[in-house]
């Protein structure tokens, strides 16, 4: 076996295309004169299958340069060995000064996968549309593997439903107004994900975080307005549903975590969003809402009726009387509770996991206690069959 590492298929193809042996340093002595340009090291850890010839072609240097800067007496390299990949440092052009490239995206890059510590590269970009291949944003500063980056920008959006699409290799995380709307940061490989958001007219902060673990690196972000903002369903003419006011909180995740993305007040609890985003800053899928109020009830037994696609939970004074939080098609649920006279706290929690999105809730008074005449027997005065007329917004 000779002193050279096995030449990869890509090198053989390049040689067949006419690349001279001298171009990868195989025909030069190791003690040739050093290049005049100054350089900085991009540190690389050798992996199985690597060779000096392969690394030379990948990073646009010669085998001779790799041997010289790493003090190698042969072309043998070993898995786990750290090599300096020389990156030439060009002299600044006259009159350039320190002006950054123009562009609305403020970009930072780190030589780690956690966006931590001081950034090694700061730039401005006009768009997020990069395909670095096996490289990085700047090979003189950013290593080609195990690096991360962040882009931040404020954008003035017209009110409407906006679709954000990210294509990345490897992972990414997208935040709108500091709310995470897509999180595939630990994904390895190429992926394309989209999310539809209802955004009110005005400025919104967009942040894209990217990580490259190994292999090829690319990231693109696009956003398109699909439709105007949805109108809330009109109150039903049926008095059962006009049971507000409800204090409403909408969350950009399906488990009511973090600060709400949107808060408002509703007169009624009967909605059919038809799979659209329910409120500004909330995605069309994988979101949740919480509706609550304090209300006076006469003493008696009440039947609460909820219909939802997907999950719903109804709590009276903190106790669940309906607890059906899961992914499911539209279903109707019933819960009964006996209340003393006075104020009681009602909470309805709704979770949307995908597909259609609707939730309604009302209650019926079933009966009251008459201890003197009936001896603790409930006198039913209401209709106990679930009632849901057709929805006519």
Would 374 be classed as within a structural domain? yes
What's residue 106's pLDDT? 93
Would 44 be classed as within a structural domain? yes
Residues 376 and 250 in one domain: yes
Nearest to 349 by CA among 267, 248, 244: 248
Would 334 be classed as within a structural domain? yes
Would 2 be classed as within a structural domain? no
Final residue before a domain boundary, out of 163, 194, 227: 227
Q: Would you say how long the chain is, in residues? A: 393
Tokens for 279, please give them: 């409120």
Would 236 be classed as within a structural domain? no
HSE at residue 271, side-chain half, CA atoms within 13 A, is 28
Other C-beta atoms within 10 Å of 293: how many? 18
* Nearest-angstrom CA–CA distance, 26 and 24: 6
CATH assignment of the domain containing 153: 2.60.120.260
CA distances in angstroms from 10 to 21, 55, 158, listed in the order given? 14, 11, 49
Other C-beta atoms within 10 Å of 375: how many? 8
Residues 207 and 278 in one domain: no
C-alpha torsion 185→188→192→194, nearest 10: -20
Residues 26 and 129 in one domain: no
List pLDDT tens digits, range 260-294.
Answer: 888 888 888 888 888 888 888 888 899 999 999 88
Residues 211 and 267 in one domain: no
C-alpha torsion 121→124→130→132, nearest 10: -30
Nearest to 164 by CA among 111, 228, 208, 104: 208
Q: Count up the domains in the chain and report the number.
A: 3
What's residue 96's pLDDT? 37
Residues 367 and 275 in one domain: yes
Would 95 be classed as within a structural domain? no
List pLDDT tens digits, range 226-248.
Answer: 877 655 444 444 556 667 788 89
CATH assignment of the domain containing 31: 3.10.350.10
* Nearest-angstrom CA–CA distance, 117 and 148: 11
HSE at residue 115, side-chain half, CA atoms within 13 A, is 15
Three-state secondary structure string covering the chain: CCCCCCCCHHHHHHHHCCCCHHHHCCCCCCCCCCCCCCEEEEEEECCCCCCHHHHHHHHCCCHHHHHHHHCCCCCCCCCCCEEEEEEECCCCCCCCCCCCCCCCEEEEEECCCCCCCCCCEEEEECCCEEEEECCCCCCCCCCCCCEEEEEEEEEEECCEEEEEEEEEECEEEEEECCEEEEEECCCCCCEEEEEEEEECCEEEEEEEEEEECCCCEEEEEEEEEEECCCCCCCCCCCCCCCCCCEEEEEECCCCCCCCCCEEEEECCCEEECCCCCCCECEECCCEEEEEEEEEEECCEEEEEEEEEECEEEEEECCEEEEEECCCCCCEEEEEEEEECCEEEEEEEEEEECCCCCEEEEEEEEEEEECHHHHCCCEEECCCCCCCCCCCCC
What's residue 208's pLDDT? 96
Give residue for tokens 């003189």. Answer: 140
Residues 20 and 134 in one domain: no
Residues 214 and 133 in one domain: yes
Residues 212 and 276 in one domain: no
Residues 309 and 213 in one domain: no
Would 241 be classed as within a structural domain? no
* Nearest-angstrom CA–CA distance, 163 and 169: 20
Residues 218 and 117 in one domain: yes
Which residues in the chain land under pLDDT 70?
A: 1-38, 88-103, 229-242, 368-393
Residues 56 and 114 in one domain: no
Range(s) of the domain holding residue 352: 246-380
Final residue before a domain boundary, out of 59, 88, 117: 88
Residues 59 and 162 in one domain: no
Cβ 101 vs Cβ 125: under 8 Å:
yes
Cα-only R_g, the chain: 32
Nearest to 380 by CA among 320, 301, 326, 325: 301
Would 177 be classed as within a structural domain? yes
């Amino acid at each position: 076996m000779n002193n050279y590492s096995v030449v990869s298929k890509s090198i053989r193809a390049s040689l067949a295309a006419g690349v001279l042996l001298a171009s990868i340093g195989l025909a030069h002595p190791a003690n040739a004169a050093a290049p005049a340009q100054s350089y900085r090291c991009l540190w690389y850890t050798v992996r199985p299958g690597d060779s000096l010839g392969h690394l030379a072609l990948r990073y646009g240097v010669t085998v001779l340069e790799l041997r010289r800067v790493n003090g190698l007496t042969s072309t043998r390299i070993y898995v786990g060995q750290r090599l300096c990949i020389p990156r030439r440092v060009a002299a600044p052009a006259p009159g350039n000064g320190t002006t950054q490239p123009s562009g609305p995206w403020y970009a930072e890059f780190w030589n780690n996968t956690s966006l931590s510590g001081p950034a090694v590269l700061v730039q401005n970009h006009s768009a997020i549309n990069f395909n670095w291949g096996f490289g990085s944003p700047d090979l003189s500063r950013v290593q080609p593997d195990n690096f991360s980056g962040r882009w931040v920008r404020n954008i003035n959006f017209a009110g409407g439903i906006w679709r954000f699409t990210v294509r990345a290799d490897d992972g990414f995380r997208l935040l709108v107004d500091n709310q995470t709307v897509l999180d595939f940061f630990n994904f390895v490989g190429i992926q394309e994900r989209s999310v539809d958001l209802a955004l009110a007219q005005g400025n919104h902060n967009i942040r894209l975080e990217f990580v490259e673990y190994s292999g090829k690196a690319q990231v693109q972000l696009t956003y398109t307005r699909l439709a105007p903002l949805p109108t809330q369903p009109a109150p039903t003419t049926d008095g059962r549903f006009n049971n507000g006011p409800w204090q409403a909180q909408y969350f950009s995740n399906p488990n009511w975590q973090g600060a709400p993305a949107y808060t408002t007040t509703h007169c009624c609890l009967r909605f059919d969003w038809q799979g659209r985003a329910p409120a500004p800053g909330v995605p069309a899928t994988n979101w949740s809402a919480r509706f609550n109020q304090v209300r006076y009830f006469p003493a008696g037994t009440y039947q609460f009726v909820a219909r939802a696609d997907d999950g719903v939970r109804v709590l009276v004074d903190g106790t669940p009387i309906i607890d059906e939080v899961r992914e499911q098609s539209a279903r109707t649920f019933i819960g009964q509770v006996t209340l003393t006279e006075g104020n009681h706290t009602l909470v309805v929690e709704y979770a949307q996991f995908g597909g259609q999105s609707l939730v309604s809730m009302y209650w019926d008074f079933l009966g009251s206690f008459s201890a003197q005449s009936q001896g603790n027997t409930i006198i039913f005065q209401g209709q106990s069959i679930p009632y849901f007329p057709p929805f006519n917004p």
